[in-house]
A and B are shown apart, each in its own frame.
Chain A
Amino acid sequence: MKLNLQSIIRSYGIVIAFVMICAVMAVLSPVFLTVTNVLNVIRQSSIFGIMAIGMTFVILTGGIDLSVGSILAVVGAVSAGMLKGGMELLPVVSLALAIGVSCGLANGVLITVGRIAPFVVTLGMMSIARSLTLIYTTGYPISGFAGTFRFIGGGDILGVPFPIVLFLLTASIAWVILTQTRMGRYTYAIGGNEETVKLSGINADFYKTTVYVISGITAAISALILTSRLNSAEPMAGQGYELDVIAAVVIGGTSLNGGRGSVWGTLVGALLIGVINNGMNLLGIPPYFQLLVKGFIIIGAVLLDRLRED
């Protein structure tokens, strides 16, 4: 292959955008490249980054999951309630994951067996899970937990914050699944041509359901991190997260039509959004302008990625 500028941009467009934005930030703010800040950015990215990894599976099949923010809220609230009620750490974590699985399973079954569009099902689930959270919490935050639980969001292993460890772990597992197992290859295949998958004698509905379960699980993991970190479960936690999550996946080069994309892309996409959020705070950009800048950067990043197409 020839090594010209165009082919480099083609293969690494998003990484280049990422490096460029980081370089600009490093020049503008002396704090940006300090170890504390870098770890801080990654830790903040890890919450929606983990969800974005689950979302990558969903979008690869050509689907969408709008309910992740609400699932995060309901998992956070119930876990917090149980902790307050005196439940041990391990049962709480298991329960949290079980709620994530159930919500995802409900989404998946309605989409495959009920033959309803993913957008509609998960939009409904978004509303239902949010409402359940409000009912459960009666609208008030549940706060103050024991030290062991606080480790999930605040602890570290050999100096690396635990959320980052979870983020990298999730990404690695997802990478193995997507590239090395049938489950993963069928995820791509369904997004590419579902008809063919069915004609090949593969239970496509099973795999389609599974991707929503995976998305539910990653939402539950993020819920534990967020609740632990804030030392509180807010009834409106995770509102609007689905947009950052979907943005991370799309910026990472995964096609919304399905069939094409990667976990590493999503990882970079999530970090990019993290850097933008962090950078704008460091630079003291007023909140009203932050969304504007973010919008432009998201569209710009994907525009750059479009160079691959033609």
Chain B
Amino acid sequence: MRMTGISKSFPGVTALKRVDFELSYGEVHALVGENGAGKSTLMKILAGVYRADEGEIWLKNQRVVPKSPKTMIDAGVSVIYQELTLIPYLSVAENIFLGREPLRSNGLIDWSAMWLEVEKLLAPFNLFLNPRSVVHSIGPAFQQVVEIAKALSLKADIIVMDEPTAPLTGSEVARLFEIIRKLKADGVAIAYISHRLEEIHEVADRVTVLRDGERMVTAALSDLTVDEIVSHMVGRKLTEQYPTVEFPAGDELIRVEGLTKKGTCKDVSFSVRSGEILGFAGLVGAGRTEIMQLIYGYRRKDAGRIFLRGREVQLRNTRDAVRCGIALIPEERKKQGLVLGLSVIDNSALSILDLNTSFGFIKWPAIARIVGEMVRSLEIRTPSLYQKVKNLSGGNQQKIVLSKWFARNCDVYIFDEPTRGIDVGAKAEIYKLLLSRARNGAAIILVSSDLPEVMNMATRILVVFGGQIVKEFRRGEATEEQVISCALGLERQSTVEALAAGAHK
């Protein structure tokens, strides 16, 4: 497969400038670049979703002009899109076979054939997933498996994976890599997009770096180090990825005692001081997101007390929480973080509208100044403040979610997977912002499945397993292996008592 001289512009943005990209059979070719560099756009052109303004696509020495996704699917190209694109209320099997349902001779769908086929497809994944389950109820990691199974079932010889590991954790990633290697051995060509550069060295053979819609370099991975890739991506040398986190913690800002909800979490207690960053590690599904939503008043708790600056507060809903100075930056940007059809400024201003009105009228100039400042400091790539958020690249959308709450001064910030899908340069930027908030006296809770991130950023780490806090580490006290074994529930210790004792002092 060969793409040559591909260019593409959208109103106000040039997404791609004469880009070449090549894939050989039995190869994994990584595609990297900053948020908004044009990676997803290039792959969507290959998939026939967008039409290129310029340039040619060659498959097996034949020129193809993709008219619709269908032409490319038929030509053996299959794409796992950056945003999960499953249909929530259809079953696993139906999602995998969408558009290609096996039929019986009378024209009705042949369910048993479909289920059998799906069981065969899922067998190598070695997990318990019923083809009849409704996708809505199976969790993000399984959903990703369904996406992959869908690509496999197409018997595609070219598979594009756009950030497939973003919603996955360690062991699942390892399993995905096994599958990728197997596919490679079968002669499948794979284009692999990811912001986790260590991964790329593990699975890919070649890498192409895009910057601002232009191809910077294509090389074998054995010839490039991670640092070299990064400097091609951002056009400068990046110093430390993680800033140093060393300053004294102040007074206790938030304390949670005995937070319990049936089927979600049990007896969760912790406290965070001003200037502290408390990390929450654990596996996907351990209940961290739910715990945060309980604190934020988004879900109702069965039991538990919350103290802010030593005073007990009743947070019945999210509005109470925000008024008390708590902000929750949610994990799923499309569903929870953004209003996709609204502009950048409308989204970012949502959290600060109440602070910027006079006599009930919104003070747009003031808001535009604040949002403009956020866009600059987070390096959000958008043609204007009035661009619709759905037209931004995935990583830039994530930055909008962050900007929404950075724009408001809060005492407690709860970040749920804040850097999912964000490039290395911007990550460092976000860490700096996080830190400056902590330095200004905020208490920060950082939920993340990215272990190095928690290990390096947090002053203390709590490990959650099965809805309970199983272990607490101080910064630098534990190795990654120790944290993982706790997260898997292998090392249990009654820290709850220890914490409770601490709280009484």
**Contact B88 A192, beta carbon cutoff 8 Å:** yes
Q: Can you pick out 28 interface pairs between chain A and chain B where the beta carbons lie within 8 Å of each other?
A: A181-B108, A182-B103, A182-B109, A185-B90, A185-B101, A185-B109, A188-B89, A189-B87, A189-B90, A193-B85, A193-B86, A193-B88, A195-B85, A196-B85, A196-B87, A196-B98, A197-B87, A197-B98, A197-B99, A199-B81, A199-B85, A201-B68, A201-B69, A201-B70, A201-B99, A259-B87, A259-B88, A260-B89
Instruction: Judge if A84 is at the interface, Cβ distance under 8 Å.
Output: no
Q: Which residues of A contact B (CB under 8 A)?
A: 176, 180-182, 185, 188-189, 192-193, 195-202, 259-260
Q: In whole Å, how far is A110's beta carbon from the nearest beta carbon of chain B?
A: 22
Closest to B104 in A: A180
**CB neighbours of A259 from chain B (8 A):** 87-89
Q: In whole Å, how far is A243's beta carbon from the nearest beta carbon of chain B?
A: 26
**Contact B90 A202, beta carbon cutoff 8 Å:** no
**Contact A182 B89, beta carbon cutoff 8 Å:** no
Q: In whole Å, how far is A146's beta carbon from the nearest beta carbon of chain B?
A: 38
**CB neighbours of B94 from chain A (8 A):** 185, 189
Closest to A190 in B: B87
Instruction: Judge if B360 is at the interface, Cβ distance under 8 Å.
Output: no
Tell me which of A176, A192, A198 has the highest count of chain B C-beta atoms within 10 A of its own C-beta.
A192
CA A189 – CA B94 in complex, angstroms?
9
**Contact B109 A192, beta carbon cutoff 8 Å:** no
Q: Nearest 8 A-B pairs (CB), nearest first?
A: A201-B70, A192-B87, A200-B99, A196-B85, A180-B108, A202-B99, A200-B98, A201-B73
Instruction: Judge if B23 is at the interface, Cβ distance under 8 Å.
Output: no
**CB neighbours of A182 from chain B (8 A):** 101, 103, 109
CA A180 – CA B106 in complex, angstroms?
11
Bits for B63-99, please: 1 = Cβ < 8 Å to A, else 0.
Answer: 0000011100110000101000111111000100011
**CB neighbours of B49 from chain A (8 A):** 199
Could you say which of A176, A192, A198, A199 contacts B90, with CB atoms under 8 Å apart? A192
**CB neighbours of A200 from chain B (8 A):** 69, 73, 98-99
Q: Could you list 12 further interchain pairs (A-B, Cβ under 8 angstroms) beyond the known A198-B69, A201-B68?
A: A180-B108, A181-B107, A182-B101, A182-B103, A185-B94, A188-B87, A189-B94, A193-B86, A193-B88, A199-B81, A201-B73, A202-B99
**Contact A199 B69, beta carbon cutoff 8 Å:** yes
**Docked complex: B376-420 residues within 8 A CB-CB of A:** none
Tell me which of A176, A193, A195 has the highest count of chain B C-beta atoms within 10 A of its own C-beta.
A193
**Contact A189 B98, beta carbon cutoff 8 Å:** yes
CA A200 – CA B79 in complex, angstroms?
10
**CB neighbours of B74 from chain A (8 A):** 201
Q: In whole Å, how far is A263's beta carbon from the nearest beta carbon of chain B?
A: 15
